[in-house]
A = this chain, B = another copy of it.
Amino acid sequence: MAPQDDSVFQAYVDALIRDDPPRVWSFIVTIFGDLAQAPGSQISGSVLTRITELAGIKPEAMRVAIHRLRKDGWIDSRKYGRTSTYSLTEYGRTLSAEASPRIYGAAAETPALWHLLIAGNSQDSADKLLELQALSGSYIELGGNTVLGPGPLPDNTAGFFALQGTSLSVPDWLRSQICPPELGTACHQLYTALTQITAHLSDTPANSKLEAATLRALIVHSWRRVVLRHPALPDFFFPPGWPGNKCRSLVQQLLEELPRPDMDLLEQEGQTSIMPPADVTMKD
Known contacts A143-B118, A144-B143, A161-B142; decide if A153 and B171 are in contact (CB<8 Å).
no
Q: How far is the CA of A153 from the CA of B162 in the complex (A)?
A: 17
Q: How far is the CA of A116 from the CA of B118 in the complex (A)?
A: 11
Q: Is A146 an interface residue (CB 8 A)?
A: yes
Partner of A171, one of B114, B144, B161: B161
CB pair A122–B173 under 8 Å, yes or no, is yes
Q: How far is the CA of A143 from the CA of B114 in the complex (A)?
A: 20
CB pair A159–B144 under 8 Å, yes or no, is no
Q: How far is the CA of A170 from the CA of B169 in the complex (A)?
A: 23
What sequence of 0s and 1s flags, for each residue 168-202 of chain A, a beta carbon within 8 Å of any chain B beta carbon? 11111110000000000000000000000000000
Q: Is A272 an interface residue (CB 8 A)?
A: no
Q: Is A164 an interface residue (CB 8 A)?
A: yes
- How many interface residues does A have (CB within 8 Å)? 33
Q: Is A163 an interface residue (CB 8 A)?
A: yes
CB pair A164–B153 under 8 Å, yes or no, is no
The residue of chain B having its C-beta at the shortest distance from the C-beta of A174 within the complex is: B161
Q: Is A158 an interface residue (CB 8 A)?
A: yes
Q: Is A253 an interface residue (CB 8 A)?
A: no
Q: How far is the CA of A274 from the CA of B143 in the complex (A)?
A: 61
Q: Is A25 an interface residue (CB 8 A)?
A: no
CB pair B169–A162 under 8 Å, yes or no, is yes
A221 CB to nearest chain B CB (Å): 32
Partner of A167, one of B118, B125, B153, B172: B153
Interface residues of A in 23-68 (CB under 8 A from B): none
A102 CB to nearest chain B CB (Å): 23
Q: Is A104 an interface residue (CB 8 A)?
A: no
Q: How far is the CA of A173 from the CA of B160 in the complex (A)?
A: 8
Nearest 10 A-B pairs (CB), nearest first?
A: A165-B165, A120-B173, A162-B169, A164-B167, A163-B165, A163-B168, A157-B169, A164-B165, A161-B174, A118-B142
A contact residues vs B (CB 8 Å cutoff): 114-116, 118, 120-122, 125, 142-146, 148, 153, 157-174
In the complex, given contacts A116-B163, A120-B174, A125-B171, what are 19 additional A-B residue pairs having Cβ atoms less than 8 angstroms apart? A114-B165, A115-B165, A118-B142, A118-B146, A120-B171, A121-B173, A142-B161, A143-B144, A146-B146, A161-B174, A162-B167, A162-B168, A162-B169, A162-B171, A163-B163, A164-B165, A164-B166, A164-B167, A164-B168
